[in-house]
Amino acid sequence: QGIILDWWAYMQIQVKFKKDSKEQGIYKEVQKLDQILTGKDTKFITRTYNYLLEVELEEEIVKGPMIAWARNVGHNINLDEWEKIWTENWKLTLSTAFKENQYKMFYRWHLAPARLAEMYPALKPECWKCKLKKGTFFH
């Protein structure tokens, strides 16, 4: 289309594009946001708002428990690792009671014996199973 590049400039642009696509994830196929932006003008604001709200809520739902677990584990857990852990643990069992327990542990709804002992002084903070160590999320 009338643009003349010499071969060295072309190679530099090509290498830069490949590097950026590996590091930053430049998508060659059309994404959902691309479809919204290039799609019909009808209900454009509604579709854009719903998409942004969906992305924002996805990040907010996991943020609190992820921070709490990262503090205990000692390193940050990114969203991909969190999803992988959650889906693997969810597929491990058919027991609804066990799945409920996993859900409570992941989202910190389960109260460990040490926490219950702080709330109710009559209870002992030891582990319910071994009765030797302090019962925390890790034991």
- State how far the Cα of 124 lies from the Cα of 74, in Å rounded to an integer: 27
For residue 126, the cross-strand partners are 134
Are the CB atoms for 113 and 135 separated by under 8 Å? yes
In this prediction, residue 117 carries a pLDDT of: 87
pTM, two decimals, is 0.33
Per-residue tens of pLDDT for the chain, all 139 residues: 566 768 888 888 889 888 888 777 766 777 777 888 888 878 888 888 888 877 765 555 556 777 777 777 777 777 778 778 778 877 777 777 777 777 776 666 677 888 888 888 898 889 888 888 888 767 6
Mean pLDDT computed over every residue of the chain? 78
Domain boundaries, the chain: 7-57, 95-138
Are the CB atoms for 25 and 18 separated by under 8 Å? no
